[in-house]
Amino acid sequence: MWWKTAVASAALAIAGPAVAQRPADALAGLWMNPHGSVVVRAGDCGSKLCGWIGWANGQAKQDAREEGVDPLIGVALLQDYEPNKDGTWSGTIYVPDMGRRFSSTIALVDRNQLKVKGCLIGGFICRSQLWHRVEHMPDA
Name the CATH topology of 2-134: Lipocalin (2.40.128)
- Condensed to tens digits (0 to 9), the pLDDT of residues 83-127 reads 999 999 999 999 998 888 999 999 999 999 999 999 987 767 999
Residue 99 near residue 107, CB atoms below 8 Å: no
Q: Where are the domains of the chain?
A: 2-134
Q: Which residue has the higher pLDDT, 44 or 7?
A: 44
* Mean per-residue pLDDT of the chain: 85
pTM of the model as a whole? 0.81
Q: How far apart are CA 109 and CA 41, in angstroms?
A: 18
